[in-house]
Amino acid sequence: MLPEASVKAHAVIFDMDGVLFDTERLCASVWSECSRVAGYAISDEVFHMCVGRNDADTRELLRETLGSEFPYDTFKERVRLEMKSVMEANGPPPKKGAAALLQYLIDNQIPAALATSTSEETARWMIDKAGFSRFFSAYAFGSEVSKGKPDPEIFILARNRLQIKDSSSCIVFEDSPAGILASHTAGMNTVFVPDMVIPESDVLELVWKQIPDLEYALYSDFFTIPSV
């Protein structure tokens, strides 16, 4: 139950992979194959630890797990090319309700930003390929920040680019534990949309709302948040 004093959210910020696009299962499969070609085996557990992390953190985590000689740059480029090849024909597969929700925000004059750990080059290609670029007023990419999720830097950057001063007036849609922690630390209202990785209970306690898919946000008072 919302408090009696409430206001409409000033802005909405989306993670990309696992929230807007159903790409994480594809990515897991591509990672497995590309690591096998390189002579390594990346377990599901290690992949899940990397979900939501930026390039620098992923590099460090994989080298800690697989050894300092793991050829990360070669692996990353092979993954990028394979993912792009798969999505070239039909674009990245949108998650249920993604396009409808983004259009709803446009219709209701609620600005939206993208805050993704993915690099700018790859993320812009995916957003453009899906026809989603017209929905966003601002972007923040993993390649732009010095600290990745769970650090809040990327969400603060997205908020600033939306020219919003108060973090508590923002809603964030996230699917990863790292993203939930980052959004919460940024002082934003986090909506958890489950994908591949289910956070531990202590992380779930930080969530403002949990919905099974983005279609559940398509009702009039979903974007009403507690006033402060």
Residue boundaries of the structural domains of the chain: 6-22+93-226, 24-88
Predicted model pTM: 0.86
What pLDDT does 51 receive? 84
What pLDDT does 1 receive? 39
Note the pLDDT tens digit of each residue in 159-215: 999 999 999 999 999 999 999 999 999 999 999 999 988 899 999 999 999 999 999
Q: What is the DSSP letter of 94?
A: B
What pLDDT does 55 receive? 87
What pLDDT does 4 receive? 45
Element (H, E) at 226: strand 224-226
List, for the chain, all residue ranges whose pLDDT scores fall below the cut of 70: 1-5, 220, 228
What pLDDT does 223 receive? 93
Query: E strands along 67-202, which residues?
Result: 112-116, 138-141, 170-174, 189-192
Amino acid at 8: K
Q: Is 114 helix (H, G, I), strand (E, B) or coil?
A: strand
Domain 6-22+93-226 coded CATH 3.40.50.1000: yes
